[in-house]
Amino acid sequence: MIQYQHKSKMKSKKEKVNQRFSSFPQMNLRKRGELMHEIIIHLILIGLIFALFFYVTAGRVNSKEVKQQVIEKELALLIDSAEKGMSFSVNKLNMNGEIKSIEIKNGKVLALVDNQKFSKGYDYFSKYSVSVDEREDRFIVNVR
């Protein structure tokens, strides 16, 4: 069974719906749009900052200085763990670059990689005498 409502009641329902939507003034819609623009701008800025960070650190990780430090630390750890009479060789062409020279001075391992001119060195601790001999394609580190 279908019930018909009186026209006056229908108008009042329409008016109620109109009143609900009119309670959201245009300002709120503008604020929502402005908020969305702000969020998008912030996301773009954050993305640019991360991209810049990764660009800067990628160049630093692959630099010659880092490769030089890796070689020096590896050699220092080998010398630290070596016993008297041991010797080990290091290829000049290494995955960290071409090693130009390896020197032992004042308790430090100094390695020059890919035309580097300066090395801070890395400390090693050994109670034995350590020397380096250069050959054609490698360096021989002797612990005596």
Tell me: the pLDDT tens digits for 95-129?
A: 878 899 999 999 999 998 887 888 889 999 988 99
Pair 69, 132 in one domain: yes
The answer to whether residue 101 sits within a structural domain is yes
* 135 φ, ψ (degrees, to nearest 5): -115, -175
Does 136 lie in the same domain as 68? Answer: yes
Distance of alpha carbon 71 from its chain centroid, rounded?
20
Q: Is the domain of 97 the same as that of 128?
A: yes
Task: Specify whether 77 is located in the same domain as 88.
Answer: yes
How many structural domains is the chain composed of?
2
Predicted TM-score of the model (pTM): 0.58
| Same domain assignment for residues 98 and 123 | yes
Residues 57 and 74 in one domain: no
- 93, β-bridge pairs: 98
42-65 pLDDT tens trace: 999 999 999 999 888 876 666 778
In terms of pLDDT, which residue wins out, 87 or 24? Answer: 87
> Are 53 and 71 in a shared domain?
no
Q: Do residue 71 and residue 139 come from a single domain?
A: yes
pLDDT band at 74 (very low <50, low <70, confident <90, very high): very high
- Residue 111, in any domain of the structure: yes
- Domain carrying residue 80: 64-143
Listed residues 36, 61, 86: the one ending a domain: 61
Classify residue 138 by burial, with Cβ atoms within 10 Å: 0-12, 13-18, 19+. Answer: middle
**Degrees (nearest 5) of the Cα angle 127, 129, 133?**
145
Whether residue 1 lies inside any domain: the answer is: no
Q: Are residues 54 and 77 in the same domain?
A: no
